[in-house]
Amino acid sequence: MVISKTTVHDLVASDKTYYVWDERLAGFGVRVTPGGCKTYVAKLLVDGRQSWIKIGRDTDLTATEARSIAQAARNAAAKGNDPAKEKQARREAVTMSALLDEFHTRHVSTLRKNTQIGYGEAEKVVRAALGKRLAPSITREDLDDIVYGCGEHHAMANKIIGFCKILFDRAIDWGRYPGPVNPARKAKRYRDQKRERFLTGEEIARLAQAIESHPEITPVVGLAIRFLLLTGLRIGEARDLLWKQVDVEAGKITFKRDDHKTGETSGAKTIPLNHGAIEILNSVPRIHENPYVFVGRRKGKGLGCYLARAWRTIRDSAGLNDGLEAGGEKIVTHSLRHTFATEQLAQGIELALVGKMVGHVSLASTSRYAHLVVDRARVASTLGSANILEKLGPLQPLPVSINGVKDAPADPTEDWSI
């Protein structure tokens, strides 16, 4: 029988379910139930295994439309794709919102606190943009749209793509994304702009003046910022520093694996303390039942996000970013870390030892400061030679002859010897 609108209409129900198969397209048929329901179906062979798919009811599709769908399914099966499994996968697919919830429970919650905070920022953007979409439907183009939506916030865009790479790697492992290609692997990324700005001596003096004179800055915040400059710690490490991590007598701070940024790869790290840093620690008041070195206004808490806000207030009061040229690099809290490392190298301390001071995992991380010292030396050389240049006077043009013996050749490649 050739399945058509007329033949399907004429089919009558029986006391049992039965099938009618099409003579033109093998595997295409109609299932008729005792209740009179007529459904188009397709019987396929995928890698030697039989697979069935339900196409749709005769009330929703014409015979011609159903035959076209069956033909497409046969073509897919010939390439090794199983439409039945794909259909089941779509039914079982989770939304991006559900995937993000699972990712947080199974992965993010196991990470250190500061990493969780960073992931949370990226998660909010991804959830707002793609939360209602099915996870298997997400493509690289969807992630590129998020990147473009970040505008000039390139660092945030890169953070989101980094977050999505890990998210979809886990989704593939958990069977939530078909893979094998992670859609974030080739998503657009901006070139990382390494922050290399450090404070000059004059800028450090202005910073100190702003710390002392600004009416809104508490003494503890002032000590914390001085501590950052004297130790090269990251702002999060100083903000969350606990007394149990500090050994003043031994002159060191010990961070466990989960207490610092690179702990997951490098494990625990020890930071040596200089005299200035120890003096600050001896000046900081120890508050009963408060474990933090730099205490905040809330009982039992540290400075938290107030330290970053206070830093911006002091920085702007000191005018450290005033007159910044277009595209110029701003002074940020990490600039204090750069300043500490650059000063050590400028004093002739070897690269490996400076890396130990700031807790770098590899020497390559520290070596990026070396050219800053060269730039600084070049400026110093220019200033130092100004008096010599003044005494020497301006350069005179070369004579047309050497000792009156031989004229200078017109061709500069000729021999000047006499």
Boundaries of CATH 1.10.443.10 in the chain? 201-367
Q: Does the global pTM surpass 0.85?
A: no
Boundaries of CATH 1.10.150.130 in the chain? 96-173
Contact indicator for 114, 151 with CB cutoff of 8 Å = no
Confidence at residue 53, expressed as pLDDT on a 0 to 100 scale: 85
Residues 6+ apart with CB under 8 A from 282: 248
| Average pLDDT over all residues of the chain | 82
Confidence at residue 223, expressed as pLDDT on a 0 to 100 scale: 93
Confidence at residue 41, expressed as pLDDT on a 0 to 100 scale: 92
Q: What is the pLDDT of residues 26-56, one digit of tens each?
A: 899 999 999 999 999 998 887 778 888 888 9
- The domain 96-173 is classified under which CATH number: 1.10.150.130, 1.10.760.10, 3.40.50.1100, 3.40.50.10490? 1.10.150.130
CA 164 to each of CA 26, 99, 125, 170, 395: distance values in angstroms, whole numbers, following the listed order? 44, 11, 11, 10, 60
**Residue 416 confidence (pLDDT) above 80:** no
User: Token match 């129900």: residue?
Assistant: 13
CA 393 to each of CA 142, 153, 378, 396, 400: distance values in angstroms, whole numbers, following the listed order? 65, 50, 21, 9, 21
Q: What is the pLDDT of residues 207-252, one digit of tens each?
A: 999 998 888 888 999 999 999 999 889 888 899 999 999 999 999 9
Counting beta carbons within 10 angstroms of the beta carbon of residue 388, is it exposed (0 to 12), middle (13 to 18) or buried (19 or more)?
A: exposed
Higher pLDDT, 233 or 397: 233
Q: What is the pLDDT of residues 78-106, one digit of tens each?
A: 877 776 666 666 666 789 999 999 999 99
Boundaries of CATH 3.30.160.390 in the chain? 5-92
d(CA 246, CA 252): 6
Mean pLDDT of 368-396: 62
- CATH 1.10.443.10 fits domain 201-367: yes
Domain 5-92 superfamily per CATH = Integrase, DNA-binding domain (3.30.160.390)
Confidence at residue 418, expressed as pLDDT on a 0 to 100 scale: 43
Confidence at residue 396, expressed as pLDDT on a 0 to 100 scale: 60
